């Protein structure tokens, strides 16, 4: 049986505009361990709301993970809410407070009195060391919800991801796998497609998708410029899961293989990096409207220096001339957002950095700055390579500034991927 794992995130700020990245990160991490989340809830810093949500979650799930609300401050109420929900006492653990004191001493910060709250642990719970912060995690084993069912698990984890992740990986996941995960193996297929709309991908894949059932599920997702097909597979043995995956992959590629950009869980920028490295090519960028987004994505990847040299953010026209060598005549005659300027930017950044591939982007991201002949959303992307003329692609996008920039950055990376794959073969 697949365990039902639920996540609760505590924090009023998460309901009022603060981005919650925990759900995505924990969701991926847990799914990879055969512990996919069945549900998530975000709750305000309100003791009774957290306690109520905990009660419901524990009544229907095998394991509940609560993130946040273990800090020292007045709005950190997870400990108290869990105590309410379970009817379990909070007990002061002197050893934990000694650790907190030692940490503050090491960091040469005066210890505020509030931090003592972090040394209270639910009766019966195991305290989980936090190497990167003051609040320890807590792990509690609970009786089954129904007679004969599996024992339930409650884990309380600190909010900051850098503190939470080591505790989750070292203590919580192994515990959950041992308790619930032994008998099932999971696998995941991800195909990333370009040049096909979502509904067309759906039609081509519907024969395969109709085979969904226990142990096999599918999702189709569409992004600016891309459609992703995911299959999640569960089997009783690693062998049966792998055999099912091979079959699904074979059938999916027969249906949409010609639109395939890449396979697997790595993001586009990592795939670009791997393809450049395999093909022994280096890349430099000249970004105008994307303003550094492509470079920032590429340098997210550890070891990016082996394929990425850097480049120029030529937001102002002067920089297109001075740092990239775009001719004043081109700018005067065709403007900065033109096929001609884009070509010179790609060739210029290649020449000035010594990279094998030069990628350039120039466009009008809006919301203002458009004209009748050059509307908001007009974007040119250029790719310069050794021994052939630079190619320039024109995009006509609609939507917000954010959307136009994201789509242009994705398309730029896709074009480099294609160039690197062609060369790598």
Convert residues 317-346 into a mask of x (bound to a second copy by CB under 8 A) and - (unbound). Answer: -xx--xx-----------------------
- Confirm if 175 and 160 have CB atoms less than 8 A apart: no
**At closest approach, how far in Å is the CB of 349 from a second copy?**
10
- Confirm if 75 and 12 have CB atoms less than 8 A apart: yes
**At closest approach, how far in Å is the CB of 126 from a second copy?**
25
> What would the DSSP string read from start to end of 123-171?
TTPEEE--TTSSPPEEEEEE--SSTTSPPEEEEEE-SSHHHHHHHIIII
Residue 356 makes contact with a second copy by CB under 8 A: no
From 71, 67, 86, select the one nearest 5 (Cα to Cα): 67
Q: How far apart are CA 108 and CA 353, in angstroms?
A: 45
Q: Which of residues 92-151 bind a second copy (CB under 8 A)?
A: 109-110, 112-115, 132
Q: Which of residues 358-397 bind a second copy (CB under 8 A)?
A: 366-368
Residue 351 makes contact with a second copy by CB under 8 A: no
**At closest approach, how far in Å is the CB of 213 from a second copy?**
13
**At closest approach, how far in Å is the CB of 124 from a second copy?**
28
Sign of CA dihedral 64, 67, 70, 75: negative
Residue 67 has phi, psi (to 5 degrees) of -110, 135
**At closest approach, how far in Å is the CB of 28 from a second copy?**
3
Q: Where are the beta strands (DSSP E) in 180-225?
A: 185-193, 216-223
Q: Tokens 């305000």: give the residue.
A: 44
Q: State the DSSP H helix or E strand holding residue 262, giving kind and residue range, or none if neither.
A: strand 260-263
Residue 49 makes contact with a second copy by CB under 8 A: yes
Convert residues 254-273 into a mask of x (bound to a second copy by CB under 8 A) and - (unbound). Answer: --------------------
Contact with a second copy (CB under 8 A) among 178, 303, 329, 332 = 303
- For 395: left if phi > 0, alpha if psi spans -120 to 50, otherwise beta; the answer is beta
Q: Which of residues 2-41 bind a second copy (CB under 8 A)?
A: 11-21, 23-25, 27-28, 31, 36-41
- Selected range binding a second copy among 65-73, 79-87, 175-183, 249-257, rule: CB under 8 A: 65-73
Contact with a second copy (CB under 8 A) among 162, 246, 333, 422 = 162
**At closest approach, how far in Å is the CB of 166 from a second copy?**
11
How many chain residues interact with a second copy (CB under 8 A)? 103
Q: Tokens 């972090």: give the residue.
A: 118
**At closest approach, how far in Å is the CB of 110 from a second copy?**
8
DSSP classification of residue 337 = S
From 37, 33, 30, select the one nearest 187 (Cα to Cα): 33
Residue 73 makes contact with a second copy by CB under 8 A: yes
Residue 259 has phi, psi (to 5 degrees) of -100, 5
- Selected range binding a second copy among 80-88, 234-242, 349-357, 384-392, rule: CB under 8 A: 349-357
Q: How far apart are CA 58 and CA 36, in angstroms?
A: 16
Residue 245 makes contact with a second copy by CB under 8 A: no
**C-beta of 140 vs 232, nearer to a second copy:** 232
Q: How far apart are CA 234 and CA 311, in angstroms?
A: 45
From 37, 113, 114, select the one nearest 70 (Cα to Cα): 114
**At closest approach, how far in Å is the CB of 273 from a second copy?**
12
Q: Which of residues 203-242 bind a second copy (CB under 8 A)?
A: 203, 206, 209, 212, 217-221, 230, 232
């Amino acid at each position: 049986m697949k365990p039902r794992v639920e996540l609760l995130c505590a924090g009023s700020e998460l309901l009022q505009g603060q981005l919650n990245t925990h759900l995505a990160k924990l969701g991926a991490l847990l799914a990879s361990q055969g512990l996919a989340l069945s549900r998530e809830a975000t709750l305000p810093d309100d003791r009774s709301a957290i306690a109520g949500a905990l009660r419901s979650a524990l009544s229907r799930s095998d394991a509940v993970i609560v993130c946040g609300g273990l800090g020292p401050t007045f709005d950190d109420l997870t400990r108290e809410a869990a105590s309410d929900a379970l009817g379990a006492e909070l007990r002061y653990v002197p050893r934990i407070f000694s650790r907190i004191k030692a940490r503050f001493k090491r960091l040469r910060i005066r210890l505020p009195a509030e931090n003592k709250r972090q040394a209270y642990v639910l009766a019966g719970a195991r305290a989980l060391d936090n190497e990167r912060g003051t609040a320890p995690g807590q792990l509690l084993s609970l009786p089954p919800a129904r007679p004969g069912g599996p024992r339930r698990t409650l884990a309380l984890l600190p909010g900051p991801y850098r503190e939470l992740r080591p505790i989750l990986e070292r203590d919580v996941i192994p515990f959950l796998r041992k308790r619930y995960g032994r008998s099932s193996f999971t696998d995941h297929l991800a195909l990333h497609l370009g040049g096909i709309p979502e509904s067309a991908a759906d039609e081509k894949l519907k024969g395969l998708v109709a085979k969904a059932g226990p142990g096999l599920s599918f999702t189709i997702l569409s992004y600016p410029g891309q459609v992703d097909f995911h299959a999640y597979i569960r089997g009783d043995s690693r062998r049966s899961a792998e055999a099912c995956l091979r079959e699904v992959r074979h059938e999916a590629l027969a249906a949409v293989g010609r639109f395939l950009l890449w396979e697997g869980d790595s993001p586009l920028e990592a795939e670009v990096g791997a393809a450049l490295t395999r093909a022994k090519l280096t890349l430099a960028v000249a970004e105008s409207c994307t303003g550094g987004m492509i470079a920032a994505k590429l340098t997210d990847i550890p070891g990016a220096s082996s394929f990425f040299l850097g480049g120029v953010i030529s937001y102002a026209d002067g920089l297109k001339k001075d740092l990239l060598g775009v001719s004043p005549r081109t700018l005067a005659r065709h403007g900065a957002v033109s096929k001609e300027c884009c070509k010179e930017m790609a060739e210029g950044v290649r020449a000035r950095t010594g990279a094998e591939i030069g990628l350039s982007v120039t466009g009008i991201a809006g919301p203002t700055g458009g004209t009748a002949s050059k509307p908001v959303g007009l974007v040119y992307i250029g790719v310069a390579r050794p021994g052939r003329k630079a190619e320039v692609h024109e995009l006509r996008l609609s939507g917000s500034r954010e959307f136009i920039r994201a789509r242009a950055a994705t398309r730029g990376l896709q074009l480099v991927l294609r160039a690197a794959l062609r060369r790598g073969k």
